Structure 1
Amino acid sequence: MQNIIGIINSFQAYIIIALAVLVIILFIMLMVTLRSLNKLEGKYRKFMRGVDNKNLEGLVTGYLDKIDEVKLETEHMKELYNELNLKLKECVQKVSIVRYRAFEDVGSDLSFSIALLDESNSGVIITGIYGRNESTTYAKPIDRGISRYELSQEEDQVLQECINKTLK
């Protein structure tokens, strides 16, 4: 143990100089690290300030809230779309018309039959018979392509034309 103490005492000046140099190097490294940290902190603050001096975290949170609102609105739109789609199936989607001469003594094709059907081929056939002295209009209901009433040749023709129309 005396040998070690003796060696340390003989090299004491060199050890102190080496430790002082080491402290100076560590101090310089600390200063460089602090300077880098300050630069990084400045960049971080600038980054977090965001657009128009707003906090970036607040911007991101705001955008996430908007995304949630859009999701809710999209779900609402899907529900509206489904409701409209159901209503649309019951709307007139197919139309066909046939003009004809009901009586030989009346010129031109002034009589008509028109079919108005929905997606399930339900609706109405409206017929207008034009005569020299009078004109008559009547309607016949259609349920899934079939009428409870007897159809004339022209009414059956307009019904078949309407049923065979394809939806686009």
Structure 2
Amino acid sequence: MSTIQNALPYIVIVMAVIVIILLILVIALWKGLNKVEKRYKKLMRGVDNKNLEELIVSELGKIDNAKQIAEQALNTATQVKKEMLECVQKVAIMRYKAFDDVGSDLSYSIALLDGHNDGVVLTGLYGRYDSTCYAKPVDKGISRYELSEEEKCVLDEAIKKAI
């Protein structure tokens, strides 16, 4: 006990130094906490004094809205693509000289087909004294009418074209 009483002033001084160091640490931490709190309040205030949480929620709403619009656009594009198969997409034309007594390539054959190779072959024959036009329907790339060589050629050319 006597050693403890002899060392008591040193223990008190060491304890006082530790308390002073801890007090300095508490003050430094308190100042740091105040800086962090100010930055947090500034962050939460957001842009134009709006709350950051409200800003994030409104932006998430806009993102959801944009996502919905994009899905609608994709559905519309898919529908348009299906409908386009029914439109004329493949066209081929050939001009030729149908008769020997006509001087130029004034006759023609045109194939107009949709995405399913359905459509028509139009032929115009130009002669010196008369002209004649023919329309022959095409179903799945085949005509139920006899086709001339030129008509077969334009039909094959139109079928080969990619959609």
Fold in common (TM above 0.5): yes
Q: Deviations over 1:93-135 (max 9, x none)?
A: 2211111122222211101000011222111111111122222
Distance 2:149 2:22 in 1: 107
* Number of the residue aligned with 1:41: 37
Aligned equivalent of 2:6: none
CA distance in 2, matches of 1:161, 1:24: 97
**Residue 147 of structure 1 aligns to a residue in which SS?**
coil
Q: How many angstroms apart in 2 are the aligned matches of 1:107 and 1:29?
A: 108
1:32 & 1:153 partners in 2: Cα distance? 98
State the partner residue of 1:78: 74
CA shift, 1:164, in A, is: 2.4
- Residue of 128, 146, 152 corresponding to 1:150: 146
Name the stretch that deviates more: 50-59 or 28-37: 28-37
Is 2:155 aligned against 1:159? yes
1:116 corresponds to 2:106: no
Mapping 1:128-147, distance limit 5 Å = 128-147=124-143
Cα distance in 2 between the residues matched to 1:40 and 1:160: 77
Partner of 1:68: 64
What's the C-alpha RMSD, in Å, of the aligned pairs? 2.9
Q: TM-score, normalised by structure 1?
A: 0.78
Unmatched 5+ residue regions in structure 1?
Answer: 1-12
What code does the residue aligned with 2:80 have?
L
Q: Please tell me the residue identity of whatever aligns with 1:90.
A: E
What secondary structure sits across from 2:132 in the alignment?
strand
Shift of 1:51: 2.6
1:57 to 53, 58, 62: 53
Superposition deviation, residue 22 in structure 1: 7.4
- Once residues 35 and 78 of structure 1 are traced to their aligned partners in structure 2, the CA distance between those partners, rounded to angstroms, is 55
Q: Select which of 103, 108, 115 maps to 1:107.
A: 103
Between the aligned partners of 2:124 and 2:63, the Cα distance in structure 1 is 57
Q: Of the candidates 83, 88, 91, which is equivalent to residue 84 of structure 2?
A: 88
3-state secondary structure, aligned to 1:146:
coil
Q: Scaled by the length of structure 2, what TM-score is found? A: 0.80
2:94 maps to which of 92, 98, 109: 98
SS at match of 2:104: coil
**Measured at CA, do residues 153 and 18 of structure 1 come closer, stay the same or move farther in structure 2, by a change above 3 Å?**
closer
CA distance in 2, matches of 1:101, 1:77: 49
